């Protein structure tokens, strides 16, 4: 931004992504005195950005808008491909050479919907850290040779999506009973946790972010309902 606007601008994204993960949809905002026409901003920035990043649209927003805290929800997809490696596809999927038990994965995923303590599905965090998040919807389905795990939630902790997918992957392999997923949602954490495996970042993709018709800052709502501790650590993803 400094190269085109002459200003040091902080770019604030709606949701972070791990190195190696992907995003079909991302939103960010920045404060600037730059007088460029928003219609021209994508063309200007795309001329300077690497080929794997593309700005699709830009517009002015009210000062009250915050790309991260005004979001109603976010949707991620994790792709597991049940097939030998394909160089044209495998950079976007986790390859597994055997067939997984899709029905077992679907059944095990149902308990994840709702407000839960997702500590066991995040990176290992301090005991006092708040791990309460809300999952609105989860859909585990077959798509040709792939299994897609789609999850829509209010916010995601660092590593949460990849570890949820890893837990369901273990269920599909027969390495973890489906009932164990519900047991990992206990609010009172055990001293020892059989942590689900973390699947590689390359199979993860941020698919959508929703703001509603009249976006507003949801930080106060999070504090009131205790859905986040301080500021939600969105999926570093």
Catalytic site positions: 18
Sign of CA dihedral 143, 179, 109, 120: negative
| β-sheet bridge partners, residue 73 | 210
> What is the spatial distance between Cα 61 and Cα 67, in angstroms, rounded to a whole number?
10
Compute the distance between CA of residue 34 and CA of residue 4 in angstroms, rounded to an integer. 9
For residues 156 and 121, give the distance between their C-alpha atoms in angstroms, rounded to a whole number. Answer: 10
Cα(103)–Cα(159) distance, integer angstroms: 24
CA distances for 77 relative to 42, 133, 179, 224, angstroms: 26, 17, 23, 29
> What is the distance between the alpha carbons of residues 81 and 116, in angstroms, rounded to a whole number?
29
């Amino acid at each position: 931004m400094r190269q085109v606007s002459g200003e040091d601008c902080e770019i604030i994204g709606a949701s972070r992504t791990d190195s190696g993960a992907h995003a079909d949809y991302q939103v960010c905002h920045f404060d600037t005195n730059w007088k460029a026409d928003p219609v021209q901003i994508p063309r200007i920035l795309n001329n300077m950005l690497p080929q794997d990043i593309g700005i699709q649209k830009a517009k002015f927003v009210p000062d009250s808008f915050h790309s991260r805290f005004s979001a109603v929800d976010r949707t991620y997809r994790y792709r597991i491909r049940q097939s030998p490696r394909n160089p044209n596809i495998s950079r976007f999927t986790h390859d597994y050479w055997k067939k997984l038990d899709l029905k077992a994965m679907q059944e095990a995923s149902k308990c994840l919907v709702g407000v839960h303590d997702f500590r066991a599905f995040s990176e290992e965090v301090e005991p006092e850290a708040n791990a309460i998040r809300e999952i609105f919807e989860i859909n585990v389905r077959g798509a040709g040779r792939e299994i897609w795990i789609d999850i829509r939630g209010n916010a995601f902790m660092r590593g949460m999506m990849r570890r949820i997918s890893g837990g369901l992957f273990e269920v599909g392999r027969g390495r973890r009973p489906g009932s164990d997923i519900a047991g990992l949602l206990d609010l009172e954490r055990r001293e020892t946790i059989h942590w689900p495996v973390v699947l590689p970042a390359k199979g993860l993709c941020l698919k959508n972010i929703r703001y509603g018709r009249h976006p507003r800052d949801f930080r106060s709502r999070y504090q009131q309902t205790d859905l986040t501790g301080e500021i939600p650590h969105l999926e570093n993803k």
